[in-house]
Homo-oligomer: A and B are copies of this chain.
Amino acid sequence: MGKRPPKKFNCATEFTLHVLGGKWKTVILCYLKERPLQYAELRKLIPTMIDKMLTQRLHDLVDAGLIVHKKSDAGTGKGVYLLAPKAKSLGNLLSELYQWGQTHAASFGVTVGTPLRELK
């Protein structure tokens, strides 16, 4: 959402999906809904994403005002990303996206991991 977002959407769902911004941004928002995370933690949580992509998606989300990059007090470089106030209203929806997958994976014959729980 680096460029100026449209002012009119054909339907409400199109707008919601525009805000969520594609698969990886939505996945990042889902994790940050649970707790603030360092870049290195996000990296571990989404191992299939290359650095360049993760950096770009985080940049886009900051740019859209949905997440904030809070620098560490000590200036160690270990800042965290967290949901911005603007994204708080997405909380329930992000939970639903996670919950549906959790509940229905087995009936689709797939298994899903819980990387946030396993994060050291």
Contacts and interface: CB of A to CB of B under 8 A. Distances in A.
Interface in A19-41: 19, 22-23, 26-27, 30
B112 A15 contact: yes
B90 A11 contact: no
Contacts of A114: 11-12
Nearest to A92: B96
Which of A12, A90, A115 has its CB near the most chain B CB atoms (within 10 A)?
A12
Contact of A13 (B17, B97, B108): B97
A23 B99 CA distance: 20
A76 to B, nearest CB: 28
B100 A16 contact: yes
Contacts of A94: 13
5 contacts: A8-B113, A9-B101, A11-B113, A12-B100, A93-B96
